[in-house]
């Protein structure tokens, strides 16, 4: 087994990416602990999140949406290299673990993932967020609930909508099917772009009683 980035033989084959390549991954400068976007205040939370608090509580990303992770996500999703899931999930787990040390995060009660539109699921054959979430739940020794949420079929193509219409559309897109009273949830996605999707999902999770929602993703698009 070789490192998927530098092709050097791996001493620990299950890791998928060697220690040197993990060390060389692009790092964020100071980011807000809630939205994971760069900010310059001395506080953990940026002024945007203070002014309008998202429904989720923490957002942890491995890197910005740039190479080499951008390329690896592309391989996973579009070239069906689903065997990359464990190596990528490990990076997410490490990022969560590092944040946990800093912020004394609690270990979640259950792990779930952003559901894929069912048409996309049929055409792709898998949900990449589910592939990433499964090993993380196993390492945390927590329940994995990939079908906690369902995604309603979208009537309109998002591309033709204005920003306000898109936000309103996404807010009614997800349904949660379980009582989550007294439960903390870890929500997994591959890429977080605007944050509208994870916000709509977090709103549903909290409505069902979730005490906290920690989002862990591979890449955060820095707008
Ligand atoms: Zn390497
Ligand atoms: Zn923020």
**Could you report the per-residue pLDDT of 39-57, keeping only the tens digit for each?**
988 999 999 999 999 999 9
From the CA of 34, how far away is ligand 2's center (Å)? 5
* Residue 188, number of CB atoms within 10 A of its CB: 27
From the CA of 129, how far away is ligand 1's center (Å)? 23
Task: Give the mean pLDDT of 181-201.
Answer: 96
Ligand showing the shortest atom-to-Cα distance for residue 10: 1
From the CA of 128, how far away is ligand 2's center (Å)? 26
pLDDT at 155 over 60: no
CA atoms within 13 A on the CB side of 16: 12
Residue 84 lies in a domain: yes
What pLDDT is attached to residue 45? 94
Residue 48 lies in a domain: no
Number of domains present in the structure of the chain: 1
The CA distance from 28 to 5, in Å, is: 20
From the CA of 101, how far away is ligand 1's center (Å)? 26
Do the Cβ atoms of 76 and 128 come closer than 8 Å?
A: yes
Ligand showing the shortest atom-to-Cα distance for residue 36: 2
Sheet holding 58-64, edge to edge: 58-64, 212-220, 184-192, 110-113, 143-144
What pLDDT is attached to residue 164? 74
Record the pTM. 0.91
* Residues forming beta bridges with residue 213, ordered by sequence position: 185
What pLDDT is attached to residue 116? 87
Looking up residue 153, the CATH number of its domain turns out to be 3.40.50.2020
From the CA of 24, how far away is ligand 1's center (Å)? 9
Token pair, residue 202, equals 């977090």
206-218 tens-digit pLDDT? 999 999 999 999 9
Residue 201 lies in a domain: yes
Ligand showing the shortest atom-to-Cα distance for residue 53: 2
From the CA of 182, how far away is ligand 1's center (Å)? 41
From the CA of 65, how far away is ligand 1's center (Å)? 19
From the CA of 47, how far away is ligand 2's center (Å)? 7
Residue 161 lies in a domain: yes
Domain with 185 in it: 55-220
Q: Look at 154 and 25; give whichever has higher pLDDT.
A: 25
Residue 36 lies in a domain: no
Q: Percentage of the chain surpassing pLDDT 70?
A: 96
Mean pLDDT in the chain? 90
From the CA of 95, how far away is ligand 2's center (Å)? 18
């Amino acid at each position: 087994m070789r490192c998927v980035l530098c092709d050097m033989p791996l001493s620990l084959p299950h890791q998928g990416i060697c220690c040197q390549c993990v060390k060389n991954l692009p790092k964020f400068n100071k980011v807000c602990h809630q939205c994971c976007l760069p900010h310059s205040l001395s506080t953990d939370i940026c002024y945007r999140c203070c002014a309008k608090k998202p429904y989720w509580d923490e957002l942890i990303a491995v890197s910005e949406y740039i190479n080499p992770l951008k390329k690896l996500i592309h391989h996973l999703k579009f070239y069906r290299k689903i065997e990359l899931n464990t190596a990528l999930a490990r990076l997410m787990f490490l990022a969560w673990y590092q944040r946990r040390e800093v912020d004394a995060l609690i270990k979640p009660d259950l792990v779930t993932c952003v559901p894929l539109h069912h048409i996309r699921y049929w055409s792709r054959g898998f949900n990449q967020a589910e592939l990433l979430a499964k090993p993380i739940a196993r390492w945390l020794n927590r329940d994995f609930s990939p079908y906690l949420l369902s995604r309603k079929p979208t009537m309109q193509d998002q591309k033709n909508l204005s920003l306000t219409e898109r936000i309103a559309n996404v807010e009614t897109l997800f349904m949660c099917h379980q009582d989550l009273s007294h439960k903390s949830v870890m929500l997994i996605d591959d890429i977080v772009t605007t944050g509208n999707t994870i916000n709509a999902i977090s709103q549903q999770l909290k409505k069902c009683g979730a005490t906290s929602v920690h989002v862990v993703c591979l890449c955060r698009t820095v707008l």
